[in-house]
Amino acid sequence: MGAETFSTEQLEKLNECFCSFEDRRGSGVVPKGILGDLLRTCGQNPTDEEVETVFGRVDGDDVDFTKFLELLSLVYKSPDAMEQEMVDAFRAMDTNGDGTISAEEFANMLRGQGLDEDSIKIMLSDADANADGIIDYKEFTQFMLSWEL
Give per-residue pLDDT as tens, 22-81. 866 678 898 888 888 888 888 787 777 888 888 888 888 888 999 889 888 877 776 677
Q: What confidence category does residue 2 fall into, taking pLDDT thresholds of 50, 70 and 90?
A: low
Q: Are residues 94 and 101 in contact, defined by beta-carbon separation less than 8 angstroms?
A: yes
Q: Check residue 5 and give its pLDDT.
A: 73
Q: Check residue 1 and give its pLDDT.
A: 54
| Residue 111: how many other CB atoms lie within 10 Å | 12
The answer to whether the pTM exceeds 0.75 is: no
Helix, strand, or coil (residue 61): coil
Q: Check residue 24 and give its pLDDT.
A: 67
Mean residue pLDDT of the chain comes to: 83
pLDDT at 147 exceeding the cut of 80: no
**Where do the domains of the chain lie, and which CATH numbers do they carry?**
3-75 (1.10.238.10), 79-144 (1.10.238.10)
Helix, strand, coil percentages for the chain (3-state, nearest 5) = 60, 10, 30
Determine the Cα–Cα distance for residues 59 and 57; give it in Å rounded to an integer: 7
List, in order, residues 6 or more apart from 34 with CB less than 8 Å away: 21
Determine the Cα–Cα distance for residues 38 and 32; give it in Å rounded to an integer: 10
Residue type, 115: L
Closest CA to 76 of 94, 109, 99, 53: 53
